[in-house]
Structure formats: structure tokens, C-alpha cells
């Protein structure tokens, strides 16, 4: 790694080595998730070879893809020391908007419906962001409110109506079912989105501002970071991403009513936390959150294959969440003294 080589000339007193250790611990998080994934898949596959069949894996990947895409936005919000609970409702209403668009304009150009989903999501994200930053209300409360409000609007709009698969053109549902070289389109979309987001979160000033704000909000203000504007942006992004995810969701599940996406916010937050994003902001990666989504979905499917009741599967997701948090505490407790003793030499 080039980074290691470059740091060599400052590590005269052996700090390079302990740095490498801290870095390994840091990366260990994502490695740990991959390891857990491998174990789950292997154990389940031994028990039931159908688990690693093509269709089964494809289904798994498609379902995880939606959560992973949502997790991108949620990660950004959580990194700024906020939380967005309204993404499930936003996904639901934008999926419904897309469905209604197909009912009224069966021949609409497909990219348009993604723009519609994005616009609907962005609008609600903007509302979240405005309330949080202008009125300085904690985002937990704001988005809990909008979770219900948006669901209410959705219910009012949809009534008992359901947009069925018959209203959706094949060109659209293909996005949910189609594959390239065996990989579902949705999986490819999620991988691409996660890759772009991971890179962007590392490479742009605005993205680093998100981390700074979550790490120490007062210092962020002193450093001249426009904290309110950045937090607003995080919510707008999260909303827009949830909107696009709504369009993907519809393409996968093929029908939408007023309760679409209910409870997704918690699946997503669980994935983000399991993926190593600190719940109080400042650290974590989009990649980790996406892997967290994949792990939780894999466990879910594995338990079905292993004939474990679905009640257990949520209990296990919960236990995993607690384990992830305990691991975090343990890790930071371990790292803290190591970092403290690692003072720089005085010259």
C-alpha cells in the first residue's frame, strides 16, 4: 500500500507500526462483516445446498440492494450526528407515485419515472432538512413526525387502491428481475451506487464536512463549516436516495399500496450500525453500511432456508445489532489507551 510506504519517513520511533495496527483494527470492521457473511453462507449451504442456487442468491442480492441503496443516504445523515426515520415512508410514497404514473401514462419513458421518484423523495428530504436546521429540532423527533405524516399523505392518496403488476410495463419490471451474467440489475445498481458514494465520501470537501460535523459540531462551527447547510444537504440527499429506491422497489415487488416500505427505516438503521457507522456520528463508511445490509439480508434468508421461524430472524437481527454496538465500545475502549500512549515525541 502506498500510504504505508509514504508514512515510513515519519515513523522514526515506531509509530508507523502501531499506526498500521490501528488501521488494521479500523479496516477489521469491514473484514469482520465479510467474514461473518462467509460463515453464514457456508453453514447454510452445507445444511441445504439450495441456498447457494442461482435464483436464491439473486433474490437475496436484489432484496439487499434496496436496503443498501437506502443505507447510503442514512449513512450520510447518521455521520452528521442526525438520523432519518422517514425513509421508509418516503420510499413508499415515491413508489406509489411511480405506480400511479404508469397507470396514467403506460408508455412513459422509463428514466422519467426514476426522476419522478427522485423528485418526490427530494421534496420530502428538503422538508426534513428545513425543519431540522431552521427550527433546530432534533432530527429524531422531526423525522419521526414526518414518518407518520408522509405515511398519512400516502394513505390518503392511495386509499385502498393498489397499483398492480398489470399496470407496470415489462420494460420496467425487468429492472427488478433482469440479470447480466447472472447478476441482477438491482445488485449492479447498488454496487455502482455504493462505489460512487464511498469514493465521494472520501474525496470531496463537502463529504468531509459531514464527518467533521458529526465528530465535533462546535469545532465544525469554529472551523467555518456551514453546519446548517451541510445537515440540510444530508437530509435532502437521504430523501432523494429514498425516492429513487422507491422506483427500484416497485420494479422488484411489482405492486404498491399505501403501506409499501413500512418499517424499512429500522432495517436500514440496523444495517448502517452493524456496518460500523457510529450512531453518534463522525465515523463509518457507506461500504460498511452496504455490507451490513447484505449481512442482515443474508441471515434473514439463511434462517428461512434453515426452517427457523421468522420471529427468530428479527430477534437475531436485534442481537447482531447489540453485538455490533458492544464491539464498537470494546474496540474504542481498547484503542483509546493505545492512542493515548502514542504521543508524538517532543523535539
Partner 1 sequence: MLALEHATKSFGAVHALEDGSIELLPGEAHGLVGENGAGKSTLVKILAGVHRPDSGRLLIDGDEAIFDNTRQSQQAGIAIIFQEPTLFPDLSVAENIFIGSQPLKVGHRIDSRKMRRETVTLFDRLGVRMDPDRPARGLSIADQQLVEIAKALTSDARVIVMDEPTAALTITEVERLFGIARALRDQGAAVLFVSHRLEEVFDLCQRVTVMRDGRHVWTKPIDELTTGTIIRAMVGRDMDTLFPKEEAERGKPVLQVERLTREGVFTDISFDVHAGEIVALAGLVGAGRSEVARAIFGIDRADAGTVAVNGKKLRKGSPTAAMSAGVGLVPEDRRQQGLIMDLSIQRNVALASLGRVQKLGLIPFGAERRFALDWVARLQLRYGRMTNPVWTLSGGNQQKVVLAKWLARRPTVLIVDEPTRGIDVGTKAEVHRLLSDLAGQGVAVLMISSELPEVLGMADRVIVLFEGRVTGEFGRAEATEDAIMLAATGTRKEQAA
Q: What is the contact surface with partner 1 in residues (CB under 8 A)?
A: 3, 6-7, 10-13, 15-16, 19, 22-23, 202-205, 208-209, 211-212, 214-216, 218-226, 278, 282-283, 335-347
Q: At 180, is the secondary structure helix, strand, or coil?
A: strand
Q: All 3 cell numbers of residue 314?
A: 428479527
**Least separation, in Å, of the C-beta of 18 and partner 1?**
9
Helix 110-134 with 227-253: angle, nearest 10 deg: 150
**Least separation, in Å, of the C-beta of 214 and partner 1?**
7
**Least separation, in Å, of the C-beta of 27 and partner 1?**
13
Q: Which is nearer to partner 1, 211 or 249 (CB)?
A: 211
Q: Which is nearer to partner 1, 14 or 160 (CB)?
A: 14
| Alpha-carbon span 235 to 239, nearest angstrom | 6
The two most distant CA atoms of the chain are separated, in Å, by: 75
- Give 305-347 as a DSSP string: HTT--HHHHHHHHHHHHHHHHHHHHHHHHHHHHHHHH-PPPP-
**Structural contact between residues 77 and 139, judged by C-beta atoms closer than 8 angstroms:** yes
State the Rg of the chain over Cα: 21
Q: At 80, is the secondary structure helix, strand, or coil?
A: coil
Q: Which is nearer to partner 1, 107 or 346 (CB)?
A: 346
Q: All 3 cell numbers of residue 2?
A: 502506498
**Least separation, in Å, of the C-beta of 216 and partner 1?**
5
**Least separation, in Å, of the C-beta of 218 and partner 1?**
7
**Least separation, in Å, of the C-beta of 275 and partner 1?**
16
Q: Which is nearer to partner 1, 27 or 221 (CB)?
A: 221
Q: At 224, is the secondary structure helix, strand, or coil?
A: coil
Residue where the block lists cell 439463511: 302
Q: All 3 cell numbers of residue 37?
A: 457473511
**Least separation, in Å, of the C-beta of 221 and partner 1?**
7
Q: Which is nearer to partner 1, 280 or 312 (CB)?
A: 280
Q: Which is nearer to partner 1, 141 or 219 (CB)?
A: 219
**Structural contact between residues 264 and 87, judged by C-beta atoms closer than 8 angstroms:** yes
Q: Which is nearer to partner 1, 311 or 333 (CB)?
A: 333
Q: What is the dihedral of CA 208, 210, 212, 217, to 10 degrees?
A: 160
Amino acid at each position: 500500500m502506498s500510504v504505508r510506504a509514504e508514512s515510513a519517513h515519519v515513523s522514526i520511533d515506531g509509530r508507523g507500526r502501531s499506526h498500521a495496527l490501528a488501521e488494521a483494527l479500523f479496516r477489521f470492521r469491514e473484514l469482520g462483516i465479510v467474514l461473518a457473511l462467509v460463515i453464514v453462507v457456508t453453514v447454510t449451504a452445507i445444511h441445504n445446498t439450495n441456498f447457494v442456487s442461482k435464483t436464491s442468491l439473486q433474490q437475496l442480492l436484489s432484496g439487499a440492494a434496496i436496503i443498501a441503496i437506502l443505507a447510503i443516504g442514512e449513512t450520510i445523515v447518521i455521520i452528521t450526528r442526525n438520523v432519518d426515520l422517514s425513509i421508509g415512508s418516503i420510499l413508499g410514497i415515491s413508489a406509489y407515485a411511480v405506480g400511479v404514473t404508469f397507470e396514467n401514462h403506460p408508455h412513459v419513458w422509463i428514466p422519467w419515472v426514476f426522476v419522478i421518484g427522485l423528485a418526490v423523495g427530494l421534496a420530502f428530504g428538503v422538508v426534513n432538512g428545513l425543519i431540522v436546521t431552521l427550527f433546530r429540532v432534533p432530527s429524531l423527533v422531526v423525522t419521526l413526525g414526518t414518518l407518520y405524516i408522509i405515511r398519512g399523505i400516502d394513505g390518503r392518496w392511495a386509499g385502498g387502491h393498489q397499483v398492480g403488476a398489470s399496470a407496470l410495463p415489462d420494460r420496467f419490471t425487468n429492472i427488478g428481475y433482469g440479470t447480466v451474467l447472472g447478476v441482477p440489475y438491482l445488485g449492479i445498481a447498488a454496487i455502482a451506487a455504493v462505489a460512487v458514494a464511498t469514493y465521494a465520501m472520501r474525496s470531496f470537501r463537502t463529504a468531509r464536512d459531514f464527518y467533521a460535523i458529526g465528530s465535533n459540531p462546535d469545532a465544525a462551527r469554529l472551523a467555518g463549516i456551514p453546519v446548517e447547510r451541510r445537515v440540510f444537504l444530508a437530509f435532502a440527499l437521504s430523501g432523494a436516495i429514498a425516492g429513487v429506491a422507491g422506483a427500484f422497489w416497485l420494479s422488484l415487488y411489482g405492486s404498491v399500496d399505501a403501506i409499501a416500505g413500512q418499517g424499512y427505516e429500522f432495517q436500514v438503521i440496523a444495517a448502517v450500525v452493524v456496518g460500523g457507522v457510529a450512531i453518534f456520528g463522525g465515523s463509518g463508511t457507506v461500504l460498511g453500511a452496504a455490507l451490513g445490509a447484505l449481512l442482515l439480508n443474508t441471515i434473514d434468508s439463511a434462517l428461512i432456508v434453515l426452517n427457523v421461524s421468522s420471529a427468530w430472524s428479527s430477534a437475531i437481527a436485534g442481537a447482531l445489532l447489540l453485538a455490533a454496538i458492544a464491539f464498537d465500545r470494546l474496540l474504542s475502549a481498547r484503542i483509546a489507551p493505545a492512542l493515548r500512549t502514542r504521543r508524538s515525541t517532543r523535539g
